[in-house]
Amino acid sequence: MNSEIDNNQSLKAPIAIRQITQIALYTAAAVACGYLLIGLPNVELVSGIVALSGLSLGSWSGALVGVFSEAIFSGLNPYGLPFPPVWAAQMLGMAGTVFLFGKLRKLFDCSPPKTRIFISVAGGIAGTLLFDLLTNLAFPIAMGVKTNAWGVYLLAALPFSAVHLAANAVVFAVIVPVAFDRLKARI
């Protein structure tokens, strides 16, 4: 009986180690790609990398990548640490994007390439809208602005969100489906 337990435990350990390693690698890639384009406001590759982690690792492990990536990227941002509610919103928004892509995995797998592009862009836009809404609402909360003035903050953020949506639409159309096909064999 003991040898059965030992054998089962030794079989589980490599899977856990592999999963932790994949989470760490996706997190490192997302953070590195975040800094790559840091000089371009609202143009980023982090969302695409973490979406790939959702497709590869599933919703829950991928969500960890989203949280860790934003925690590190924003926490060590050379432009400064965000207000705590904004930081929390960034982590939650990115985790939401990844969770969505984890749920899209089966659909992604069985779809032809052109449909994958559509699914990727639609999911990317949904994730970007969630991220922008959460972070744009977190700022007036952090500043103690009364709720009746939050609309002004959301309106002022529209041009930035438009750039973010357009840039992410390109990332999710061009990079995510191709990268997923390349990574699929290794998953």
DSSP codes of every residue in 135-157: HHHHHHHHHT--GGGHHHHHHHH
pLDDT of 38 higher than 60: yes
In a domain, 80, yes or no: yes
In a domain, 61, yes or no: yes
Q: CATH number of the domain that 66 lies in?
A: 1.10.1760.20
Torsion angle in degrees (nearest 10) through CA of 53, 96, 118, 48: -40
Q: Which residues contact 74 (CB under 8 A, 6 or more apart)?
A: 81, 82, 87, 90, 91
In a domain, 84, yes or no: yes
Average pLDDT over residues 6-14: 53
| Residue range of the domain that includes 178 | 23-184
What count of residues does the chain have? 187
Q: Give residue 12's pLDDT band: very low, low, confident or very high (50, 70, 90).
A: low
Q: Give residue 7's pLDDT band: very low, low, confident or very high (50, 70, 90).
A: very low
Q: Tens digits of per-residue pLDDT, 40-86?
A: 999 999 999 999 999 999 999 999 999 999 999 999 999 999 999 99
Residue with the bigger pLDDT between 171 and 8: it is 171
If you compute the radius of gyration of the chain from its CA atoms, what whole number of angstroms results?
18
In a domain, 14, yes or no: no
Cα–Cα distance between 161 and 90 in angstroms, integer? 14
In a domain, 2, yes or no: no
- Put residue 72 in one of left, alpha, beta given phi > 0 → left and psi -120 to 50 → alpha: alpha
Q: Tens digits of per-residue pLDDT, 92-146?
A: 999 999 999 999 999 999 999 999 999 999 999 999 999 999 999 999 999 999 9
In a domain, 13, yes or no: no
Position 3 scores a pLDDT of 46
In a domain, 125, yes or no: yes
pLDDT of 183 higher than 90: no
Q: For the chain, percent helix, then strand, then coil, each to nearest 5?
A: 85, 0, 15
Structural domain tally of the chain?
1
Residue 128: alpha-carbon gap to chain centroid: 9
Average pLDDT over residues 9-32: 84
In a domain, 79, yes or no: yes
CA distance readout (Å), 103 to 52, 57, 73, 107: 12, 11, 25, 8
Half-sphere exposure (Cβ direction) of 149: Cα atoms closer than 13 Å: 7
pLDDT of 6 higher than 80: no
Q: Which residues contact 155 (CB under 8 A, 6 or more apart)?
A: none
